[in-house]
Chains A and B, each alone.
Chain A
Amino acid sequence: MVSGDRSDSLATSVGPLRLRNPVLTASGTFGYGQEMASFFDVAKLGGIVTKTVTMRPRPGNPTPRIAETPAGMLNSIGLQNVGLDGFLRDKLPYLAALDTVVVVSIMASTAEEFGELAGELRVEGVDAIELNLSCPNVSYGDGGQHVMFAHAPELTEAAVAAARAASDRPIVAKLGPDVPDIAALGAAAQRGGADALCVMNTVPGMVIDTAAKRPVLARGSGGLSGPAVRPIGVRLVYQLCAALSLPVVGVGGISTAEDALQYLMAGAHAVQVGTASFVRPTAAHDVLHGLQEYLQDEGSSVEALIGAAQRKGESNG
């Protein structure tokens, strides 16, 4: 169990957001918290990030939506969610009553709609907003003609700025991996007024069923997650932290404390556990427990470890 005696060594902050410990859950892998409560005390985590919420409910993509891959999985869920009203009515009350930080992930098809959503979420129980600018499994813009927000600095900046203007909550911009210059996207989010970055969303990928001679997923491609993608995420966090002062939350392939340490040492101020929860529903708890043991053994603290590898490694990308 995670006891309180050394809790200070676990404390961290992500910009204005103070966290009891650096372990959060990744959007879309932990439901709205309540689904996980029978496995462990979810309030012990540093924070809970919700499944991405959109203005209106979304049914999600056609099936099949998932495929296993070596040390990971592809998903093409398509942001199936209960919509803003359903979230506020049915999901938020449970989260709001928990003694931990609640981060609501949101996604919209235009910058203005990001602003509207962020504005609607200025309610009790919402501690921060994560902007999902990088879901690979949906279309963008009104007619689907735009590229993903996190593929274009100007779209990223506009979406962040709209949310910033509408909300007094800390704003975290979630970026994706498939860009030539992650620092340019991070800088755009910073210009828009983001308090922190979250890196990374899933990596676009495809699996083909050779017997049927077609992609396994109904939508063709999907997003890769799990241990297979971890080195990609660690490198992106390392690059961002070398280039920018904005705090970063690291996510991608974390299933053990050792994995989380890699992200912290790359410069992340906190981490999120995603796909690992599907393999072991207690994964986030286990990562936290392992980190606590590590810090006790080392006589160290999270704050002392953040960016430790930056100071020793050459930033030769």
Chain B
Amino acid sequence: MSARLQECTVAANREVAPGHALVTLESGIGAAAEPGQFVQVSLDGVAGAFLPRPFSFHRAADDQFQLLLRSVGPGTAAIVATRPGERLTVLGPLGRGFELQRAIASGGSLTLVGGGVGVPPLHHVADFVRAGGAGSEVTGAKIDALVGAATAELLLAVDDLRAIDVDVRVSTDDGSAGHHGLVTELLHDELGAAGGADGRGRRPGCVLACGPHPMLRAVAKICRHSDVPCQVAMEEPMACGYGVCLGCAIPAAAAPDRYLLLCKDGPVFDAEQVAW
């Protein structure tokens, strides 16, 4: 494991949606980061945030990386409130990311499915592939994204994805943009169309998904029905983030009393590994 503990300077912090910040940190931690991996941000001193808080990479480069986060409690509120020049202690990169070689090799195109604040690791995937991180031969691979949120203003990273040649379809719970309903309905529709006689879609090589647990469960089910490989980036309360506390266990499909460690075996899993 090559995770490092480092004090990073906040280079920029911008509100990208109500209650959501895109935070740029100056650090070499992102240099080796793979999409789906995460960092632990220490908030020692922030009341109500004793343990570090995990966040996916949204974008990572050699000398800086970005987090896109939603303020839901004391830890995220403190990070959202940081100003350029302030410092945060960060541990990373941690965990196992998406297996992109396998995902792309198995069919050529990727379909990303993101719900709410599950979009960052999927944005990282698209950004990484386009920058040649997954190999120059797949830089131009076809990438579709299905992005869901509660309302239009909470749809994340849609313009950024379109700017790097990702085909984006959106859904909102209130119908204020795109499909009025769940993002999983868009997926159902895509895969149905891909398999159907109208030939509208191409069958994706792999579906990569991140979002709330019920959404991931539905995505896994749809993919299994359509026989499309699926990788999911999951969430679970964590303490250490590097595999020693054994607190972040999730039940494995293999046996009811076998557990996977989210921080070490994941946070990305093949959907078939997980007991949904």
Contact = CB atoms under 8 A, between A and B. Distances in A.
9 contacts: A28-B246, A35-B244, A59-B257, A60-B259, A70-B50, A73-B51, A73-B239, A77-B247, A80-B259
A29 interface: yes
Give the one of B2, B44, B237 with max A CB within 10 A: B237
Interface stretch (A126-134, A157-165, A238-246, A273-281): A273-281
Contacts of A36: 244
Contacts of A63: 236, 249-251, 259
Interface size bucket, A side? Answer: 35 or more
A71 interface: yes
A63 B248 CA distance: 8
Contacts of B243: 31, 35
Contacts of A282: 5
A35 to B, nearest CB: 5
Contacts, number: 92
A282 B241 CA distance: 14
B259 A75 contact: no
A75 B247 contact: yes
A67 B51 CA distance: 10
A114 interface: no
Contact of A39 (B5, B44, B49): B5
Contacts of A65: 246-249
Contacts of B248: 65-66
A282 B42 CA distance: 13
Given A59-B257, A60-B249, 17 more contacts: A29-B244, A60-B259, A63-B249, A63-B259, A64-B237, A65-B246, A65-B249, A66-B239, A68-B50, A75-B245, A75-B247, A77-B247, A278-B240, A278-B241, A279-B44, A280-B5, A282-B5
Contact of A278 (B245, B250, B251, B257): B245
Interface of B: 1-3, 5, 42, 44, 48-52, 89, 91, 236-251, 257-259
A73 B246 contact: no
B48 A70 contact: yes
Nearest to B73: A68
A38 B243 CA distance: 13
B41 to A, nearest CB: 11
Contact of B242 (A28, A51, A70, A281): A281
B244 A30 contact: yes
A307 interface: no
**Top 6 closest pairs, chain A to chain B, by CB:** A66-B247, A31-B244, A278-B240, A59-B257, A278-B239, A77-B246
Interface in A19-39: 28-31, 35-36, 38-39
Contact of A38 (B3, B48, B49, B250): B3
Main secondary structure of the interface of B (DSSP, over half): loop
A67 B259 contact: no
Contacts of B42: 279-280
A46 B225 CA distance: 55
A31 B3 CA distance: 16
Interface of A: 28-31, 35-36, 38-39, 51, 59-60, 62-73, 75, 77, 80, 226-227, 275, 277-282
Contacts of B258: 59
B237 A38 contact: no
Nearest to A63: B249
A269 B224 CA distance: 58
A80 B51 CA distance: 21
A77 B245 contact: yes
Given A29-B244, A281-B91, A67 B237 contact: yes
Contact of A279 (B51, B237, B247, B251): B51
Contacts of B48: 70
A93 to B, nearest CB: 18
A68 B51 CA distance: 7
Contacts of B237: 64, 66-68
Nearest to A33: B244
Nearest to B89: A280
B240 A281 contact: yes
B245 A28 contact: yes
Contacts of A75: 239, 245, 247
Nearest to B48: A70
A29 to B, nearest CB: 7
A77 B246 CA distance: 7
A64 B239 CA distance: 12
A227 B251 CA distance: 30
B51 A278 contact: yes
